[in-house]
C-alpha cells in the first residue's frame, strides 16, 4: 500500500479553517486510543506519563501526524480528518518540542531536501541515519524504555534491515539495544529543562499585520503584508498583498494557518494561483516569524521567509549589497518606519526618492573609500546590515549539490524540479578567493547551463536525456519518467550533471559550478523524511 502522507499532511496540518471540534483531544484519546493504550496511574502532575506508549513521547506536529497515520495504516484506527486535526493539535501542544530542541533539525521540517547532514556519531549514522534522516530521530523525545521499544518495533516491522548494508556486517540487534538506546535516551531525553521552561511561557497571539519578505524561484525577492485574522485559538485566516522587488509585479494570496506548541506556524497559502505551504516558527516575543515557504506540488521550489510585526522595524533592504564607487537606488523595507535615516559617511544619501511607513527609496552613492564588509543603516533606532563590496572574487552555486526527480507523463508522481542561485563572494582578509573567510556578497543575476558531470555522464549522454535548464532563471526541469528505449539498456532519464552559473563583473565573466543528480521518483513522502 502506498502511503499518502502528503494528503494526510494537508488534511492534518495545513488546510485548516475556523471550526468547532466535535471532541476534545483528551476525549479522542479515551474514545479512539484506549482500546490499545491503557492508562498509567501516577501521583506526579502532568506531563508525567498517563497513557501507555503515548505519554512517554514528545514530537513535532508532523511527528504526531506520522504516528496517527501509522495507527491508521497498520492498526486500522478509524478516525476522521477533523478528529485527526484535533488530536495532532492536542498532542503537539502538550507533548511537543521546545524551540531549542527543534532548532538543529528545522531543515527537515522546512523540507530543505538538498541538505547534507553532518552527523558526528558514526554509529548513529550507520545504525539509524542510513534509512532516514538523522533529523527524524532528533525531532523525537522518548523515555529510555520507549527508545528500547522503538528498536523492537523496527526489527518487528522491518525484519530485513539486519540483512541490508551496514546491518548484515554486525550484530545489529544487540548493538541497537545496548549502545544506541542509552545514547538516544541521553541525547534526546523525554524530560528536559528546555521543555519544562517552554511550557511555562505565556501564550502568544499571532494575529495582526505581518510585513513579510522572502525569495521564490523565477520571481526572486518579494515583500508584502500578511494579515492574520484569528478565527479561534491558534487558528488564523490569511490574506497576502505584496510585490516582487526586481520588477514590481503584484502578488496576492489567501489561506489559513494554525500554530502548535506556542511557536510552530503551519500555513497554507494560495499565492497567485499556486498552492504554497509555510513552515515557520515564532520567536518568544511573538513579533518575528522565520522559516520557509514552498510549493505544495513541488517542495524543492521555495525560499526563506522572514516576517515582522510591530512599530518602526526594518525588515530588509533591496538590493542587499552595494558596490564601492557606485550610485544606485536603495529601498529600505519594514513596518511603520519612522525616524531619522542614518548611513555610514561613505554611503551618501543623494536624495529621498519616496517615503512611506513601509518603504523608503533612497538614491545613494558609495564612495571609493568605503570600507568593505557589513555596514549598518538605520531608521530611527532600528538598524539593518547591508554588504559593501569592491570586487567579486568568485561565484558559488546554491545549492552546491541538488537532487531533481523525473516524473509526470503517465507516472503517478509529478516531477521534482531543482532551482539554483548564483552567490557572489569577495576575497577574504588574505586576498585569496576560495578560503574560509571569504565575504558573502549576495545573490546575483546569472546565466545558467548544464554539462556532463564526469566521463560516465558524458558517455551515457545524460545531458541529452535528463532534462533542461532555463538559462535565465536557474530552474531545471527534469525529463519524464522512463524507461526510455532511446537510452542504453532502456534505462530511466536519470543523470549526473554539472550546473554552471555565469555572472558578469564589468568586462569579465566569472563562473561557479554545482552538481545536480537527476534520479527516479520518491514514492514514500512522509512529512519528516
Domain chopping of the chain, boundaries: 208-308, 313-389, 394-519
DSSP 3-state assignment of 215? Answer: strand
**pLDDT score at 56:** 94
CA distance 267 to 84: 17
- Omega cis (within 30) before 47: yes
For the domain spanning 394-519, the CATH number is 2.60.40.10
First to last CA, the chain: 18
pLDDT tens over the chain, length 529 residues: 334 444 444 444 543 333 434 489 989 998 889 889 988 876 665 555 589 999 999 999 999 999 999 999 999 999 999 999 999 999 999 999 999 999 999 999 999 999 999 999 999 999 999 999 999 999 999 999 999 999 999 999 999 988 888 889 999 999 999 999 999 999 999 999 999 999 999 999 999 999 999 999 989 999 999 999 999 999 999 999 999 999 999 999 999 999 999 999 999 999 999 999 999 999 999 999 999 999 999 999 999 999 999 877 899 999 999 999 999 999 999 999 999 999 999 999 999 999 999 999 999 999 999 999 999 999 999 999 999 999 999 999 999 999 999 998 777 889 999 999 999 999 887 777 777 789 999 999 999 999 999 999 999 999 999 999 999 999 999 999 989 999 999 999 999 999 999 999 888 999 999 999 999 998 888 999 9
**pLDDT score at 14:** 46
**pLDDT score at 81:** 94
Domain 208-308: which topology? Answer: Lipocalin (2.40.128)
Q: CA 257 → CA 12, 234, 459, distances in Å? A: 12, 8, 49
CA distance 128 to 149: 15
223's grid cell:
515583500
Tell me the whole-structure pTM to 2 decimals: 0.92
CA distance 364 to 421: 26
Bridge partners (DSSP) listed for residue 140 = 59
Enumerate residues 6+ apart whose C-beta is below 8 A from 453. Answer: 462, 496, 497, 498, 515, 516
What is the bridge-based pairing of β-strands 382-389 and 373-379? antiparallel
Domains 208-308 and 394-519 share a fold: no
CA distance 108 to 110: 5
DSSP type of residue 416? B
What is the bridge-based pairing of β-strands 382-389 and 321-323? parallel
Enumerate residues 6+ apart whose C-beta is below 8 A from 371. Answer: 344, 346, 388
The secondary element (H helix, E strand) that includes residue 458 is helix 455-459
**pLDDT score at 428:** 81
**pLDDT score at 360:** 97
CB 141 within 8 A of CB 188: yes
**pLDDT score at 291:** 98
Domain 313-389: which topology? Answer: Immunoglobulin-like (2.60.40)
**pLDDT score at 2:** 37
Count CB-CB contacts under 10 A for residue 454: 13
**pLDDT score at 44:** 63
Amino acid at each position: 500500500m502506498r502511503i499518502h502522507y502528503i494528503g494526510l499532511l494537508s488534511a492534518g496540518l495545513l488546510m485548516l479553517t475556523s471550526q468547532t471540534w466535535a471532541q476534545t483531544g483528551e476525549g479522542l484519546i479515551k474514545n479512539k486510543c484506549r482500546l490499545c493504550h491503557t492508562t498509567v496511574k501516577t501521583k506526579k502532575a502532568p506531563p508525567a506519563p498517563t497513557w501507555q506508549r503515548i505519554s512517554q513521547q514528545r514530537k513535532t506536529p508532523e511527528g504526531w501526524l506520522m504516528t496517527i497515520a501509522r495507527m491508521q495504516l497498520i492498526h486500522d484506527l478509524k478516525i476522521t480528518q477533523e478528529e485527526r486535526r484535533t488530536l495532532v493539535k492536542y498532542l503537539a501542544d502538550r507533548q511537543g518540542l521546545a524551540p531549542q530542541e527543534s532548532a538543529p533539525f528545522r531543515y527537515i521540517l522546512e523540507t530543505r531536501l538538498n541538505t547534507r547532514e553532518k552527523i558526528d556519531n558514526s554509529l548513529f549514522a550507520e545504525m539509524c541515519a542510513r534509512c532516514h534522516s538523522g533529523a527524524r530521530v532528533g525531532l523525537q523525545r522518548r523515555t529510555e524504555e520507549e527508545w528500547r521499544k522503538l528498536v523492537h518495533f523496527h526489527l518487528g516491522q522491518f525484519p530485513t534491515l539486519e540483512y541490508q548494508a551496514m546491518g548484515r556486517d554486525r550484530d545489529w540487534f544487540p548493538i541497537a539495544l545496548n549502545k544506541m538506546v542509552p545514547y538516544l535516551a541521553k541525547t534526546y531525553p523525554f524530560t528536559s529543562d528546555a521543555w519544562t521552561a517552554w511550557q511555562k511561557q505565556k501564550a502568544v497571539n499571532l494575529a495582526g499585520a505581518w510585513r513579510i519578505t522572502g525569495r521564490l524561484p523565477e520571481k526572486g525577492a518579494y515583500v508584502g503584508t500578511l494579515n492574520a485574522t484569528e478565527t479561534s485559538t491558534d487558528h488564523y485566516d490569511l490574506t497576502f498583498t505584496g510585490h516582487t522587488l526586481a520588477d514590481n509585479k503584484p502578488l496576492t494570496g489567501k489561506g489559513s494557518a494554525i500554530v502548535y506548541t506556542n511557536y510552530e506556524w503551519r500555513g497554507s497559502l494560495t499565492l497567485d494561483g499556486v498552492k504554497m505551504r509555510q513552515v515557520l516558527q515564532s520567536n518568544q516575543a511573538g513579533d518575528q516569524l522565520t522559516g520557509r515557504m514552498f510549493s505544495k506540488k513541488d517542495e524543492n521550489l521555495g525560499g526563506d521567509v522572514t516576517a515582522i510585526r510591530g512599530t518602526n522595524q526594518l525588515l530588509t533592504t533591496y538590493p542587499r549589497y552595494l558596490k564601492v564607487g557606485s550610485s544606485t537606488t536603495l529601498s529600505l523595507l519594514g513596518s511603520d518606519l519612522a525616524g531619522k535615516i542614518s548611513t555610514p559617511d561613505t554611503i551618501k544619501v543623494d536624495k529621498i526618492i519616496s517615503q512611506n511607513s513601509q518603504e523608503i527609496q533612497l538614491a545613494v552613492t558609495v564612495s571609493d573609500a568605503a570600507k568593505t564588509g557589513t555596514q549598518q543603516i538605520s531608521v530611527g533606532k532600528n538598524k539593518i546590515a547591508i554588504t559593501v563590496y569592491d570586487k567579486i572574487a568568485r561565484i558559488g552555486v546554491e545549492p552546491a549539490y541538488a537532487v531533481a526527480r523525473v516524473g509526470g507523463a503517465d507516472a503517478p508522481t509529478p516531477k521534482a524540479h531543482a532551482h539554483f542561485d548564483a552567490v557572489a563572494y569577495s576575497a577574504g582578509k588574505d586576498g585569496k578567493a576560495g578560503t574560509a573567510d571569504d565575504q558573502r556578497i549576495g545573490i546575483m543575476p546569472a546565466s545558467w547551463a548544464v554539462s556532463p558531470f564526469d566521463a560516465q555522464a558524458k558517455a551515457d549522454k545524460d545531458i541529452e536525456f535528463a532534462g533542461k535548464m532555463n538559462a535565465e532563471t536557474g530552474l531545471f526541469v527534469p525529463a519524464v519518467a522512463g524507461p526510455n528505449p532511446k537510452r542504453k539498456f532502456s534505462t530511466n532519464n536519470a543523470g549526473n550533471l554539472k550546473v554552471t552559473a555565469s555572472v558578469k563583473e564589468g568586462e569579465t565573466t566569472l563562473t561557479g559550478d554545482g552538481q545536480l543528480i537527476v534520479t527516479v521518483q520518491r514514492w514514500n513522502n512522509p512529512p519528516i523524511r
